[in-house]
């Protein structure tokens, strides 16, 4: 199983627009071969000392059956449309692709 943690820094004032576009794409992603989970999340204040809060970051939690399924996802037509719709809303992005040990 492949786990993906994507942190997307959204431009100030654009969070709701980004989330609306992202959520509209979720059903298409969940229909893809190998997609187990695809969820947008935001920080929850907990008071834990190591936690860093950022109200303009959306963290995507994904689970895929295989790396091949993830790679197919990245080039799927609906993801190309999603990236085009959100490109002016995103400041920067980082991705971790993880495998269980």
- pLDDT for position 40: 98
- pLDDT for position 2: 98
User: Using an 8 Å Cβ cutoff, are 9 and 95 in contact?
Assistant: no
- pLDDT for position 57: 98
Nearest to 59 by CA among 42, 47, 34: 42
Write down all domains in the chain, each with its CATH number in brackets: 2-44+54-99 (3.30.70.100)
Alpha-carbon torsion (83, 31, 22, 92), positive or negative: negative
- pLDDT for position 32: 98
- Those residues of the chain that have pLDDT short of 70 are none
State the Cα–Cα distance between residues 90 and 57, nearest whole angstrom: 10
């Amino acid at each position: 199983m492949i786990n993906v943690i994507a942190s997307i820094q959204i431009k100030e004032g654009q969070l709701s627009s980004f989330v609306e576009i992202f959520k509209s794409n979720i059903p298409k992603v969940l229909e893809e071969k190998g997609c187990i989970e695809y969820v947008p999340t935001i920080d929850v204040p907990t008071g834990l000392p190591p936690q860093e809060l950022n109200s303009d970051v959306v963290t995507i939690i994904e689970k895929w059956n295989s790396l091949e399924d993830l790679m197919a996802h990245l080039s799927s037509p609906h993801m190309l449309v999603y990236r085009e719709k959100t490109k002016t809303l995103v400041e920067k992005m980082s991705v971790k692709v993880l495998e269980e040990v």
